[in-house]
Structure formats: C-alpha cells, structure tokens
Structure 1
Amino acid sequence: MTAKLRRWIAVATTVAGVTLAGVVLATAAQAAEARLMVLGDSLVAGYGLPPGQGFPEQLERDLRAAGRDVTVLNAGVSGDTTAGGVARLDWSLADNPQAVIIVLGGNDMLRGLPPEAAGVNLETIITRLLARDIEVLLAGMMAPRNMGPAYVEAFDGLYPALAARHDIEFYPFFLDGVALDPALNLDDGLHPNEAGIAEISRRIMPSVDRLLARLDG
C-alpha cells in the first residue's frame, strides 16, 4: 500500500467517524423528545381561555417542569363529536405524534346521541392509532345522572370497556375534581377556567407518565 493510499484511507475513516457520530447524536436528540397529541373537543381546544392556556399547553408546561422533554400538540376542535374525530384523524396525525390522548364524547352525550355510536367511533380511532404504533391514553367522560340510568350506564361504560379491550392507558374521568366546581369553571358551568385546566393537568399526570413510559419500553 502506498503512502498516498494510506493517507486517503486515514482521512476517509476520520470523515466517516465524524459523520456517524453526528447521526448518532441526531438520533439520540430525536429519541429524547416525545411528541404527544391531544385529540378532543372544546375541553382541549381551550374554549373561553386566553391563547396558550388550554389543556395541551398546560400539560406541556407541567411535563417540562417535571424534566420530561415532551411537545404536546393541540388537536382540539370546539363542538367536535366522536364522529368528527374519526373524520379528521388522518390529517390530525400529520405532525407524527408518538402518543395520543383522546378526549372525545362529551358533545355526543350533550346531544343525546346513542352511546353505541360513540363507542364505535372511539374504537375506530383507537384501532387506527394502534395500527400506526401510536400509544393511546383514553380519557373517559360521564353522562349527567338526569339523562336516565340506562343512558348513563351505557355511556359511562364505554370508556373502561374500550380501554380494557385494547390494553391502553385509561383515565376514568377527564373532568375529575373539576366538574360542577364554580371556582374551576367558566360561567357556563361546562368548560374549565385556567385554574380548572391546571387541576386537570395535575390529576391526569400519573396516567400521562404511564403513557410515556410505554414509549420508553
């Protein structure tokens, strides 16, 4: 082997090593940051709140304060139903989230739509997400008791049944600790105010931690 060839090999090896190191560092950086999307209705969109004060934004702040490098994407549309969630699911995934929190069904219930239809729609969303290897956290909703025992039983039972059937993370009631508390809701009594959003984020955090742990494992 000539001296010139040896020098060329040495330079090529060095360049390759630097390039590989750059690829490894870039890959590690990408792996460190998780992308979490919240698919929902006005409870997610931030109805009645100042910009940046909705649930996804609050959750991201809380996760980062806890040392988690997570970007939380807001895919909330006010007035959306489970059928609407199905219709817009594919384009909502354009940002390629690794995990999705589903917060849908409240408007189905308020409109008195059949719980069975909501269940079919939620199952469609879940199965499509899982087929893309996207981890899922399903946040449950609860029907007002004045809608009658049959409706309440059918609607409330949708969420735990779906979570169990698909082995996904489950948070039983998205508005737990916030619903019906005037201090935590806007004047309409339905949508959380900033304090209510902060309380929801605090309470759901253990479930979100388990969701993100699935990405690590």
Structure 2
Amino acid sequence: MANGFRLYGFSLLLVQLLAACSPTKQEALPAADNNAVNMTAKAAQPIADGKLVVVFGDSLYAGYNLQQDQGFAPILEQALSKQGIKAHVVNAGVSGDTSADGLARLAFGLDGLSRKPDLVLVGLGGNDMLRGLSPQATRSNIDAILTELTKRGIPAMLTGMMASPNMGPDYAAAFNPIYPDLAKKHGVPLYPFFLDGVIGERSLLLPDGIHPNPQGVQRITAKVAPSVARQLGK
C-alpha cells in the first residue's frame, strides 16, 4: 500500500512538471529524436540468432533528446547481455505518441520486421493522460494493441503510467486500472510505473524535468530488465 501511495505521488509530480512545459506532439519530435521514429530502421537488418525484442511506446521509450546509444532500447540490450541473454532490442518509441497513434502504426511496424519478435514491450498512455483524453479510449487502444500481438502469436509485456490527482478522482478511477486490468485480461506481465525511482530525482532527469537522462535510463532499465529477462527465459 505504501508503494502505491509513493507511485501516486510520483505521478502527481510528473503532471505538475508537465503542466509547466508540456510540448505539443510536433514540438516533441526534434531532429535529434529521429533515431526513434519507427521500428523498421534498425529491425531491417536480418537477425541471425538471439532474441528479438521490440520496445513500442512514446518518448520515454524513444530516448528523447539522448544520443542513439543512451536510450532505453540500447541500454536494455546491454542489460540483457549482462544477464547472459543475447538479444536485439528494437527502438519503436515515438515521442508524442498517444495510444491511438501507437495502434495506428502497430501493424505497419510489425510487418516491417525481419521476423516475429520474441517479446514486445508496450508503453503508451502517458500522453493520453496529459491531454486529458478519454480513459475509455486509452483502454480500448491498448487493448487492441495487445489483441493484435496475441493474434500474431507475439508475447507482450506492459509498462504502466498513473493519473495525477490533479486530473480528478473520476479520471484517476477510470485511468489507473487500465494497465493492471489489461495485463490480467491478456495474461501479460506488468511493470506498474515506468518512471518509478526516477521522476522527482533531478539528477536523473533532463533539464525539462520530465524525461530521463542517461543515468535515469540506466536506473529504469535496471528495474525493468529482470522482468524482461524472465519473459525471454520462458
């Protein structure tokens, strides 16, 4: 219960920071972030062996304003390697994406891969919450993403976000259960809050106070990687 309150506090701080400097989708796609525009760029290379992992989300996955080797995908690949898992991790994060944007590009991106992934991490919904979009629509979109992955026989893992109390109790009551409910419905593992241990820690964030810096990505990945490794080991 204490951990839940801590995460809830983190989400409140996140939205307070974002309210002060929330970018539009266009502003969130600077040239420096072009390395993350879709999953086909890196995945076009044939994969001879090892696991194929796709991280499919928004700017938190994309490595927003970081060097190409500093984002979540390359650091996750390194972390898995240290655990003895040979994996090719494809960056399919797009800054500014909502869950609807992700759903719209999912099939095209999957079709562009050299083979079926061994695991897809899904991390969307934060921008929906920031913009006050309908939690029912967010739920429907993420549900559809997980349904499509199931239809294709692709294992998935979900990383969650939480609504701020500033959004009001009704919004929070509709938004917060999305991730645990859908993880249960689809039988996929859930990492409840992607920014756990980073949001609110200025030393782990870029100057915008929102996105993780390289040290923040390292901390996030250290927490997420064991769950990814377990799924790949099944």
TM-score (ref. length: structure 1): 0.82
Given candidates 81, 86, 110, the residue that maps to 2:103 is 86
1:164 aligned residue? 184
What secondary structure is seen at the aligned counterpart in 2 of 1:35?
strand
| Aligned Cα root-mean-square deviation (Å) | 1.3
> 1:142 maps to which residue?
162
Encode CA deviations 1:131-154: one digit per residue, 9 max, x unaligned: 111000000111222111221221
Secondary structure in 1 matching 2:88: strand
Q: Give the Cα separation in 2 of the matches to 1:106 and 1:114.
A: 12
Question: 3-state DSSP class of the match of 1:100?
Answer: strand
- Quote how far apart the aligned CAs of 1:208 are: 0.6
Mapped pair 1:63 → 2:98 = no
1:187 is aligned, of 178, 187, 207, to 207
The residue number in structure 2 matching 1:17 is none
2:62 to 45, 58, 68: 45
Pick the structure with more helix per residue. Answer: 1
Q: Tell me, in whole angstroms, the C-alpha distance in 1 between the residues paired with 2:89 and 2:97.
A: 19
Letter in 2 for 1:113: L
Question: What is the percent sequence identity of the aligned residues?
Answer: 49
1:154 aligns with 2:181: no
Q: What does residue 91 of structure 2 align with?
A: 74
Question: Whose RCO is larger (CA < 8 A, sep 6+)?
Answer: 2
1:8 is matched with which residue? none
TM-score by length of 2: 0.76
Q: Which runs of 5+ in 1 are unaligned?
A: 1-28
How many angstroms apart in 1 are the aligned matches of 2:101 and 2:182? 19
Cα drift, residue 210 of structure 1? 2.3
Flag structure 2 segments of 5+ consecutive residues without an equivalent.
1-46
What is the CA deviation profile of residues 103-159 of structure 1, one whole-angstrom value per residue up to 9, with x for unaligned ones?
A: 100110111101110000000000000111100000011122211122122111100
Q: Detail structure 1 runs of 4+ shifted over 2 Å in the superposition.
A: none
Could you tell me which of 97, 114, 134 is aligned with 2:117? Answer: 97
Q: How far off its partner does 1:213 sit?
A: 2.5
Q: Count how many residue pairs are aligned between Structure 1 and Structure 2.
A: 185
After superposing the two structures, state which structure 1 stretch, 150-159 or 107-116, moved more. Answer: 150-159
Q: Do the aligned residues in 2 keep the contact of 1:169 with 1:210 (CA within 8 Å)?
A: no
